[in-house]
Amino acid sequence: MHDIARKAMTQICILGAGSWGATLGVALRQAGNQVTFWTQDAGKAALINRDRRIEKPIAVEFPDGTIATDDIVEATRGAEFILFCCPSQAVRAVAYRLEGANLDAREKKPVLVSAVKGLELTTLRRISEVLSEILPDLTVAALSGPNLASEILAGLPAAAVIGCPSLDTAASVQKALATPNLRLYSNADITGVELGGTLKNVIAIAAGVSDGLRLGANAKAALLTRGLAEITRMAVKLGAKPQTMAGLAGMGDLLATCAGPTSRNYKLGMELAKGRKAEQILQEMGVAVEGVPTAQAVCELSKKLGLELPIAEQVEATLKGKSSPEQAIMTLMKRPLASE
């Protein structure tokens, strides 16, 4: 704890000042780092600089010394680590804006860290793959794990994992981003780290539906177990290691996200169980719910890979209004008997 608290100040840029980006930024600033936020909303940047507080999407108070700007070149100047905390479908556009910052021309190039749990819908690629395509000269890592923003913002203890093919790079990110209340592990399996955090969002919607319909503990336990099996099946097919799915980015994130309404995906599922339409719920929530585009991407990927993912398929059918929550549950229960 004391080693983390006394570590040298690291310059960190956070791209996105939503609930997750703001939460990470506050924790990292409190740990003694220099944190600069980039947000395309000039009004939000002004609020952070002037009032040290925002109210939406969650109420956040920022420590003194926190800086925010809508100029991405200014935000990334001198940054050793650049964290992507924007919605998954906005990553490509933000990455293209980074090109103008000439990051690859610096003597010491920054490391890009994706803290985004999603797939790009148009290409079905992981976020690190999108970043490497647009900024090929920079090293990319991924941050994932059971990290509900509200709990981290409240200072409760949590753990996460840094995925990167280079364990040396993973270790440097691990050291830079660790805080007294956020313990980080490293893992060379970036594919598994990203996919675990991404695919569990789909299962979290199903978990919300299950609890919303009051199906009980037995049903939810079965759902999470079979959901983890689906996550593992697809992740391994895409090159991940199965043991990663048993770790923080897989089972850990799944358990946290399916535990209650602090998860947006779970909350969406709860509202779907009331018979409401997904479009109306999402409009009222007013924030990105990553499980929605991920469900579509996962179902498209499963067809290409020849995989059967019954839970994901029923979640997508419910989101698109092709099935009701009750019908989706009955479809799963009536599937042919099989071995585990």
Tell me whether residue 200 is one of the annotated catalytic residues. yes
The full DSSP string for 136-156 is: TTS-EEEEESS--HHHHHTT-
Bridge partners of residue 182, in order along the sequence: 158, 179
Q: How far apart are CA 25 and CA 316, in angstroms?
A: 33
Buried b or exposed e, range 44-83, using 16+ CB within 10 angstroms: bbebbeeeeebeebeebebeeebbbbbebeebbeebbbbb
Catalytic residue from among 200, 237, 277, 320: 200
Q: Which phi-psi region, left, alpha or beta, contains residue 56 (left: φ > 0; alpha: ψ -120 to 50)? A: beta
Q: Which residues contact 139 (CB under 8 A, 6 or more apart)?
A: 109, 111, 112, 164, 166, 169
Quickly list DSSP for 181-237. TEEEEEES-HHHHHHHHHHHHHHHHHHHHHHHTT--HHHHHHHHHHHHHHHHHHHHH
Q: Which residues contact 261 (CB under 8 A, 6 or more apart)?
A: 208, 267, 270
What positions carry a catalytic annotation?
200
